[in-house]
Structure 1
Amino acid sequence: MSVPSPTSPPTAQLDAEALARLRELDPKGENQLIDRVLRAFESSALRLLPQLEAARASGDRAGVRHVAHTLKSSSASIGALALSQHCAKVEGLIRENSSEDLQAPLSALVAELDAVRAAIRTMLEPR
């Protein structure tokens, strides 16, 4: 599977420098590290998104915080920095017991997660 070179960022959702750091761990691509990491993220997102939606629908702020926290670090590790920031915002609002409505930040998080997943699918397409 071919992954774009570090000089050509695959999408606006994934930071080229973060992908280059991953690429340095497997410079020849023999272990398909980037593919495996991106597939693991996608698998995790598929599992977490229904949890997030259920927690959101039931008003379970602790459940929303847990999912946001989990996605925050995993998204940063693949270079999905905007998604990581959305997760940090949601997590922070809940941790601080903010009275701010979570609907807009959660909608932004879900929209960015969808965009990141689309970018991952594009990167993983056979070339």
Structure 2
Amino acid sequence: MNEPVLDLVVFDEISNLMEGALSEFIDTYLENSPKLLKNIDQSLSQGDLSGVFHSAHQLKGGSGSIGAMQVFQLAKKIEALSRAGSAEGIDRQVSELQLAFDRVAAELRTYQ
């Protein structure tokens, strides 16, 4: 994956906009993202591609907003596959997505 774990340009922009609320924004992302990851995994195991799509879409949006570009790109791929009705390859993408989230979560915690 060529994208940075955390795009510092995007993160600096959000940091400047959020001012004193940055820690709360990070907390919300770190609290909601694991739930979305779990929803993606559960929906996939149930063959619910619509559920996969919706959770991936939400994760993509939040990740793009905070600058978590690896998570954003992987969620975008999962979103596209599920929208196309293809479960093939999503398992591998979900595994990569979890690893990417773990990396960005560790980096974001240094800013709290």
Which interval holds the TM-score relative to the shorter structure?
Answer: 0.7 to 0.9
Q: Deviations over 1:4-31 (max 9, x none)?
A: xxxxxxxx521110111113225xx4xx
State the TM-score, normalized to the length of structure 2: 0.84
In 2, the alpha carbon distance for the partners of 1:14 and 1:99 equals: 28
The 5 Å alignment of 1:1-127 reads 12-26=4-18, 29=19, 32-98=20-86, 100-124=88-112
| Shift, 1:99, TM fit | 6.0
In 2, the alpha carbon distance for the partners of 1:56 and 1:98 equals: 11
In 1, the alpha carbon distance for the partners of 2:81 and 2:96 equals: 14
| Shift, 1:62, TM fit | 1.3
Letter in 2 for 1:65: F
Q: Is the helix fraction higher in 1 or 2? A: 2
Where does the alignment leave 5 or more consecutive residues of structure 2 unmatched?
Answer: none
Where does the alignment leave 5 or more consecutive residues of structure 1 unmatched?
Answer: 1-11
In 2, the alpha carbon distance for the partners of 1:99 and 1:40 equals: 29
CA RMSD across the alignment: 1.7
State the TM-score, normalized to the length of structure 1: 0.75
| Shift, 1:87, TM fit | 0.5
In 1, the alpha carbon distance for the partners of 2:9 and 2:44 equals: 33
